């Protein structure tokens, strides 16, 4: 019986526990900056200055989920908006990343968003047919 193995996606860098402070649109690219850089996973992990670039982003399929459940189970109030609407509504924010998910042309971050004294459980969903680039500064 033939089998196919989907190898686990292991990146050289992570944004786990980083606080995203800006998401900038530059043509079809998105630049995401954190308060304190990125974490290099080589050997003993170390935090380095840097940011992430997503190439060839399709904004029609980039979404943000805002949930007021704040980690609770059961029914909760939620809202799904486009990334463009998110950037318009939340020009200043902090998004603390708890988990990262990489898939076919997709990158998703789960964590907690704070802005204007509001607190949300949040999922950021990027759809990009180009590379995801970790840039050390």
How many CB atoms are closer than 10 A to CB 101?
12
CA angle 16-21-137, nearest 5°? 75
CA distance 86 to 62: 10
Say what the pLDDT of residue 41 is: 92
Give the chain's radius of gyration (CA, Å): 16
* pLDDT tens digits for range 6-55: 788 788 999 999 999 999 999 999 999 999 999 999 888 899 999 999 99
How many CB atoms are closer than 10 A to CB 80?
12
Entry pTM: 0.90
CA distance 24 to 38: 17
Say what the pLDDT of residue 6 is: 79
CA distance 101 to 7: 14
The rounded mean pLDDT for the chain is 93
């Amino acid at each position: 019986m033939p089998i196919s193995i989907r190898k686990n996606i292991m990146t050289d860098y992570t944004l786990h526990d980083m606080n995203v402070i800006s998401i900038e649109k530059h043509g079809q690219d998105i630049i995401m900056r954190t308060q304190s850089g990125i974490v290099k996973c080589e050997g003993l992990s170390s935090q380095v200055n840097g940011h992430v670039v997503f190439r060839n982003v399709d904004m029609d399929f980039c979404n943000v989920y805002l949930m007021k459940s704040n980690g609770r189970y059961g029914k909760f109030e939620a809202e799904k908006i486009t990334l463009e609407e998110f950037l318009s509504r939340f020009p200043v924010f902090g998004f603390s990343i708890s988990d990262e998910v990489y898939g076919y042309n997709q990158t998703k971050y789960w964590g907690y968003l704070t802005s204007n004294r509001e607190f949300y459980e949040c999922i950021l969903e990027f759809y990009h047919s180009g590379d995801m680039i970790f840039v050390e500064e």
